[in-house]
Amino acid sequence: MNSLRVFLDIDGTLTEGSARERAMENAGLVRGAYGEPSRSYPQGKEAFLTAFNHPDVFGLDTTLPDAVALLDVLRTMPSVEVFVLTARDVEHHEAIRADLDHRGLWFDGMRLLCKPHRTLCTTPEYKLWTFTVLTEGCDEEHILYVENADHLRDNARALRPRAHIVPSCSEALSIVGGMELEGVKLDD
């Protein structure tokens, strides 16, 4: 049997960053809501990304409902591999991990995979390439990807159509709970 391989996004999936967005608006680094075509970056997108992804503002985020509960369930499973797959820059790897730990969203054995410098590739290229490589040869029914971005979920489904790909920790909890209820044994 295969182990359960879990991929978790941070921003918008484990944490909610509207307070960080407001801080960037107040600093004059962004105008307009995330995803809107009219969104603009008065000091340039790089200045916004540098400030938005800086560890000094991680504490403004709130932990989303069921994120801690999902990690609590995953930590008790006998054979699970958990990858936190984020577009946050690798430069802040340790600060990101410390923030997750502080929120109760970390346990020993997890792996944090940060984007290798935002100028090297786009977020979809990075996340989908990483997802593809780390799921190659896996039983798709033992893959769980929790990602709030519709386009990333759609692309991941195209790559692994039988995988469990959901937008929230609440839905992921239902899937993991269903695996336990159906007697799916996940061993080494």
- Note the pLDDT tens digit of each residue in 95-141: 999 999 999 999 999 999 999 877 778 889 999 999 999 999 999 99
- In one letter, which amino acid is 31? R
* Residue 139 C-beta-side C-alpha neighbours within 13 Å: 8
Token pair for 55: 């560890």
The distance between the two most distant Cα atoms of the chain, rounded to a whole number of Å, is: 54
* The predicted structure's pLDDT at residue 13: 96
Checking if the pLDDT of 1 tops 60, the result is no
* Of 18, 8, 90, 5, the residue nearest 52 (C-alpha): 18
- At residue 92, the pLDDT reads 94
Residues 6 or more apart whose Cβ sits within 8 Å of residue 176: 4, 70, 73, 74, 77, 144
What are the extents of the domains in the chain? 4-15+62-181, 18-60
pTM of the model: 0.90
Using the predicted structure, report yes or no on whether residue 72 has a pLDDT greater than 70: yes
CATH entry, 4-15+62-181, from 1.10.10.10, 1.10.1740.10, 3.40.30.10, 3.40.50.1000 = 3.40.50.1000
What is the C-alpha separation between 112 and 100, in angstroms, rounded? 10
Query: What is the structure's pLDDT at 2?
Result: 64
| Residue 73 scores a pLDDT above 50 | yes
